């Protein structure tokens, strides 16, 4: 499994603003969008290109492009939805799948309530979106879901990960790639990442 913590100054700066309890919902959404865009840049760095010919104003030349049938982006509901536009603004041709999971607050285990994936997901690079890789149980369940549908190349884009979640995923899905803005200190007894940013869904949607 590869885990990349993106150390770019823009990412560090925006992450600091995102963590701040004083950051309001509107700004929080905007920062999630911008951070996802920056992480997508890293997450797609090895994507295969095809050669094409284009006519510049001066002459014909070889150029490269991402083939149409390449990417499926799958937010894990609900907080992953806050990251979707960030990916689509860079890869507008991506197909979108949805994986609905909620965390049972007592067992901390994921419960799947909705899945809708592109029919040809097996032919695509899958970008799973979930802002918080906490226990890793939801991520593992989402990876199981896309693997059952035939996906083989899977990358999780997350904003913050806990070391415990990374270890859990490493054990269950050693073939997963993870791109994250920060690996934080630990999980607390309620399954929150510390220092973290609180409940990402609540902060994105203004719920409590």
Looking at 4, 29, 78, 202, which residue is catalytic? 202
Q: What is the DSSP-derived secondary structure letter of residue 96?
A: E
Strand-pairing partners, residue 155, are: 127, 177
Residue from 94, 158, 200, 204 touching ligand URA (CB under 6 A): that is 200
Is 56 considered catalytic here?
A: no
Q: Does 169 bind ligand URA (CB under 6 A)?
A: no
Q: Smallest distance, Å, CB 19 to ligand URA?
A: 11
Query: Which tokens sit at 101?
Result: 């999971």
Count the residues of the shown chain that bind ligand URA, applying the rule CB under 6 A.
10
The nearer residue to ligand URA, 132 or 146, going by C-beta atoms, is 132
Is 103 considered catalytic here?
A: yes
Q: Does 82 bind ligand URA (CB under 6 A)?
A: no
Q: Is 34 exposed, middle or buried (0-12, 13-18, 19+ CB in 10 A)?
A: middle
Helix (H, G, I), strand (E, B) or coil at 104: coil
Query: Which tokens sit at 62?
Result: 């070889």
Q: Smallest distance, Å, CB 201 to ligand URA?
A: 6
195/199 Cα distance (integer angstroms): 12
**Residue among 79, 179, 75, 191 at smallest CA distance from 134:** 191
Fill in the per-residue mask, 107 to 136: x = in contact with ligand URA (CB under 6 A), - = not in contact: -------------------------x-x--
Is 95 considered catalytic here?
A: no
For residue 145, the number of C-alpha atoms closer than 13 Å in the C-beta half-sphere is 25
Is 78 considered catalytic here?
A: no
Strand-pairing partners, residue 156, are: 128, 178
Tell me which stretch binds ligand URA (CB under 6 A): 41-49, 92-100, 146-154, 188-196. Answer: 188-196
Q: Does 164 bind ligand URA (CB under 6 A)?
A: no
Catalytic residues: 103, 107, 199, 202
């Amino acid at each position: 499994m590869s885990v990349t913590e993106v150390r770019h100054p823009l990412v560090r700066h925006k992450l600091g603003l995102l963590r701040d309890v004083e950051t309001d919902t509107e700004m929080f959404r905007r920062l999630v969008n911008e951070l996802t865009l920056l992480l997508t840049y890293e997450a797609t760095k090895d994507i295969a290109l095809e050669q094409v010919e284009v006519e510049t104003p001066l002459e014909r030349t070889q150029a490269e492009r991402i083939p149409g049938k390449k990417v499926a982006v799958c937010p894990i509901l609900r907080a992953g939805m806050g990251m979707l536009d960030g990916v689509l603004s860079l890869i507008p041709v991506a197909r979108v799948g949805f994986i609905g999971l909620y965390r049972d607050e007592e067992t901390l285990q994921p419960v799947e309530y909705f899945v809708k994936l592109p029919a040809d997901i097996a032919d695509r690079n899958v970008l799973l979106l979930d802002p918080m890789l906490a226990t890793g149980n939801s991520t593992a369940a989402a990876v199981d879901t896309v693997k059952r549908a035939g996906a083989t190349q899977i990358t999780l884009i997350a904003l913050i990960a806990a070391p415990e979640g990374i270890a859990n995923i490493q054990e269950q899905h050693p073939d997963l790639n993870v791109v994250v803005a920060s690996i934080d200190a630990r999980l607390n007894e309620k399954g929150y990442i510390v220092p973290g940013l609180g409940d990402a869904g609540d902060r994105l949607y203004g719920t409590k």
